Structures are given as C-alpha cells and as structure tokens.
Amino acid sequence: MIIVEEFRGTPVADRRVEIVERKGVGHPDYICDAVMESISLALSREYRKACGAVLHHNIDKGLLAAGRAEISFGGGRMIRPMELIIGDRATAAVAGKKIPVQEIAANAARDWFRNNLRFVDPDKHVRCRSVLAPGSEELSDIFSRPGRLRGANDTSALIGYYPLSPVETTVLELERHLNSGRFKKRFPETGEDIKVMGLRTGTSIDLTVAMPLLSACIRSETEYFRRKELISRAIGRYLRQHDHFSRVSVNLNTLDEPGRGLGGIYLSLLGTSADGADSGQVGRGNRVNGLISVNRPMGTEAAAGKNPVSHVGKIYNVLAHKTAEKIYRNVDGIREVYVLLLSRIGAPIDSPAMASAQLLLEKGRRIRDISEPVQMIIEAELAGIGGFCERLASGAFPVC
C-alpha cells in the first residue's frame, strides 16, 4: 500500500528553535557503528566469494568499553586497552565450507581503527572480543527460501526526510571539516573525537564543539589555551561562509577551566575519549544521514551492522532517506518530504506493509497535482530494491 498525503506543519527551518547534533569519527558511539558496519561489509564480501550471495548475519550489537590512560603534559601512556565486544549473529558455514567469521570480524575491526584514527594502534590499544554465534533456524531459513528477494527478517517502521535544513548542513559540514586531512595538517594537535551541537534560535545559531587536544602536543596549560584560541578563531573563519544566519557563535570545550591544570582542560592520549573517559554503543550515534536532528521524526532502529539484503531496519532506513531525496529533486513545488516505510516480517522486502510520503507543499501547490509522480517514484524505488541492497552490501551508502 502506498499513500501520498499533504503534511500540514511548519518547515523545520522556519521554526523558532532547532537542535541538531553530529558525533564525529572518533566519538565512541560513532566508532561502534562504523566498526560493526565494516564487519558486516567484510562478511558480505566473504559470503559472496564463498557461495555467491550474502548470508544471514547481523552485527548490530556492539560495545566499546573505554580503556584507561595516564595523561600528562607532553605525553602519557595506556594502562589498559579499550575493549571492543562484537556481536551478534553470523553464518559460520555454508555447503560444508567453514567461514572464519571470528577472524574476519577481528581483522575488519583492526583495519577500521588503523585507517581512521591516526594514533590508535589496534594491536596495542584495542582488545577485540567476539561473541558472534549462529542465528536462529527460522531467521537463517529466510536465506534458503526461493525468490529473487529475501523476506524481511523483522517488523520495523522507518522514516527518512529531505532536504537538510541550513542548521543540519552546517553541523554536518563543520564536523567533516574539523576531521578533514586539511584541518589536521594545520592543527595536528586536534583529536578525531569531535561532537558538534547546533542550536538555532530564530536566525541565530550557537554551536558547541567538543574536540580533545593530544597530550603529546601540549606541554603546559598555557599552551593548551593558546592553541585552543587559535583553533576557535579558525572555526569562526570557516563558519563565515555559511551566510544563512544573522549571528554565529562558537563555543569550544566549554568544560575547560583555567588554573585547574590537567583537571581543567580536554586532553586525550589517542584522540578519542574511548582511550580512558567514555564508552560507546551501537545505535547511540548518528542516524543514517549522519545527524541527530531533534526536531525531526526518527526511527529507533540502529542500521549499522545489520544485514544489507534482509534486515529492513537497515534497508528501509537508508531507502527512506534516498527516496525522500529523489522525490524532492524530481517533483516541483515541495518544501519538505518525509517517507515512512513499514515492513512485515517474512514479506518480500519490495512489498512493505505501508509506504507513505508526507509532503509539505509550497504555497499554491495541491496534493492531487503531484501525488501520482510521487507514487511512481516510490514504486520505482521499491522495484529496484534488489540492486539497492547489492550496493548497500558493497558499502555504497554510509550509515553513520
């Protein structure tokens, strides 16, 4: 069933208050999402190699327990490594051939740390503990049933939207800028554990940024605050290109307090608070469009690590956002699009129990004039879901 209806409300960008958050690549929650997704992609590749198809697995349960670091001006040392607990289910054999799922998971995790966090040595700083086990008979049997597409392995409701508001765009782009190679080359003392919180009130935006400085690069409290000031100015200059707001204010590391030494500044040994201060968990990070937007409706499914060909908690999560974008870009007269997808466990993934587009229209537009092309786009996206899942299994769509 497909329903297209008018959404009667105020666009997010026109509301008096808007709050948007982004957790960056070094945040413990982001790490969990990204690592579990990397493991799912690695397993999908191995399954395809072994039997030509993605088999049952869901790597969507994971925890990164913080290590323990001793930090000093000019350096420090790890006392206890971080511990990454990898779950949940994975097919370990097919047609009599064993699949080394534990080894694949550990290698994928180590590769992610090595490729994304400059100062984390996964062989020294991270201990991996896998609790992967075979799936239940009924859920595993989905992959043996005939049909071009898999049946949905859950009953889930997901939602996506488009376009991003100026606040969402600013928060997303700022974190990516601060973690870019260009910024790190200019400010190598900054860590990757960046969190940006944006608050818009009327036409003014207030941004709070948390970003550790590396203890090996900071020799004193005085140097810390001097470098912090230079970084704050650089952020301010970057944000001047965003002319959507009448006023922009930036607050960096607001827990800092001069005169308290190491207790009054934000230092990290490895560039992530997971080295000694904060743990992470799958599903507590960004939604699949990279943001946590408080003013938007959000589903409760964590997409990272879920099976890319049967788990609608992942497939519909990403597809809803992509479909909303396609509708917005191809149908004139729409200000905002919200796409809702509801699955029914066991039903083919191209046949949701409900697909709905809610459209906030420009003045003068009528829902009956555009409902048909919108419905056609939804039908086309569902018809092409097989190819979409193949791309999803290849990592074409980031989920955090």
Query: Residue 265 is part of a domain; what is its CATH number?
Result: 3.30.300.340
Q: How many domains does the chain have?
A: 3
DSSP readout, 105-168? HHHHHHHHHHHH-TT--HHHHEEEEE--B---HHHHHGGGS-SSSPBPSS--EEEEEESPPHHH
Query: 113 to each of 36, 294, 303, how far by Cα in Å?
Result: 12, 29, 20
139 band by pLDDT with thresholds 50, 70 and 90: low
Say whether both 354 and 325 belong to one domain: yes
Q: Is residue 82 located within the same domain as residue 176? A: no
Query: What was the pLDDT predicted at 51?
Result: 86
Does residue 398 belong to any structural domain of this protein?
no
**349-374 pLDDT, tens digit each:** 999 999 999 999 999 899 999 999 99
Residue 18 belongs to some domain of the structure: no
**Per-residue model confidence as pLDDT tens digits over 186-225:** 999 999 999 999 999 999 999 999 999 999 999 999 999 9
Query: Does residue 313 fall inside a structural domain?
Result: yes
Residue 147: the pLDDT is: 65
Residues 160 and 203 in one domain: no
Same domain, 64 and 133: yes
- Specify the CATH number for the domain of residue 364: 3.30.300.280
Highest mean pLDDT, choosing among 77-81, 86-90, 244-248, 300-304: 77-81
Q: Is 293 left (phi over 0), alpha (psi -120 to 50) or beta?
A: beta
Q: Is residue 319 domain-shared with residue 338, that is, in the same domain? A: yes
Q: Are residues 134 and 32 in the same domain?
A: yes
Of the residues 216, 251, 281, the one at which a domain ends: 281
146 within domain boundaries: no
For residue 364, what are the contacts with CB-CB under 8 A and spacing of at least 6?
Answer: 333
How confident is the model at residue 140, as a pLDDT?
Answer: 57
Domain at 119, CATH number: 3.30.300.10
- Range of 369's domain? 2-13+155-164+286-393
